[in-house]
Amino acid sequence: MNNQGIFIPTEERVKSIIKELINPQFKELKEIIIEGINPPKRNLTVLEAAKRLNVTELTIRNYIKKGKIKAEKIGRRIIINSKDLEKSLSEVKSFKYRR
pLDDT profile of the chain (99 residues), mean per 10? 72 87 83 74 89 93 91 92 84 56
Q: In this predicted structure, what is the pLDDT of residue 94? A: 54
Dihedral angle of Cα 62, 68, 72, 73, to the nearest 10 degrees = 10
Residue 75 DSSP symbol: T
pTM score? 0.52
Q: In this predicted structure, what is the pLDDT of residue 8? A: 81
- Top-level class of domain 43-91: alpha beta
Sketch the domain layout of the chain as residue ranges.
Answer: 9-39, 43-91
Taking each helix axis as running N to C, give the angle between helix 82-91 and helix 46-53, from 0 to 180 degrees, rounded to the nearest 10: 40
Q: In this predicted structure, what is the pLDDT of residue 47? A: 94
